[in-house]
Amino acid sequence: MANKKMCLGLFTGSLDKLTAAGVILGGAAAMDMKVDIYVLLQGARAFRKDVGDDPDKLQMAENPNMKAEFLQSLKNLKVKTWVEFFKEAKEITDVKIHICGLAGKIWGGEKLDDFISIADDICGIGAYITAAQEADVNLFI
């Protein structure tokens, strides 16, 4: 049986939602799903080399005043960082991370090399829509 496909539109560049996306990716990896992630607007900033896993450079989408508690709680529970989750999912299953070209430019990233190494390519919206049409599971975070 062919592997099920997941298409994730990753708009968010916030610490809490990226962490949630990482947990979901873990589940998809355990199920051997083929995952395509399209990194849109705010997401592209988080994928910039100088941002990535640095919690000082990322905000919370909700409860912004509870970032310190959130980070401490993740640490206590030995939860991985969002980048670690994404890396682990890539090691286990077929995960491709596509950076939206426009989003990259908005945040000063023109080339693939401007983004953290887990990014696979820079693409346009057509690729996202095509993948979304073909996917068994579509998520937008």
Partner 1 sequence: MTSEELEKLQVTKTVDARGTACPGPLLEAKKAIGTIKPGDIMEVLSADEGTKVDIPKWCAKQGHEYLGTIEVSGYFRIFMKKH
Find the shortest distance in angstroms from Cβ 108 to partner 1: 33
Per-residue binding string, partner 1, 13-32, x by CB under 8 A, is ----------x--xx-xxxx
Q: Is 73 exposed, middle or buried (0-12, 13-18, 19+ CB in 10 A)?
A: exposed
Q: Does 77 interact with partner 1 (rule: CB under 8 A)? A: yes
Distances (CA, A) of 12 to 52, 126, 141: 13, 20, 6
Among 20, 41, 51, 79, binds partner 1 (CB under 8 A): 79
Per-residue binding string, partner 1, 31-70, x by CB under 8 A, is xx--------------------------------------
For partner 1 (CB under 8 A), the number of binding residues is 12
As a whole number of angstroms, the distance between CA 94 and CA 67 comes to: 32
What is the dihedral sign for C-alpha 40, 87, 58, 60?
Answer: positive
Nearest residue to 40 via CA among 65, 66, 17: 17
Per-residue binding string, partner 1, 95-134, x by CB under 8 A, is ----------------------------------------
Any idea what DSSP says for residue 9?
E
- Chain residues binding partner 1 by CB under 8 A are 23, 26-27, 29-32, 77-79, 88, 92
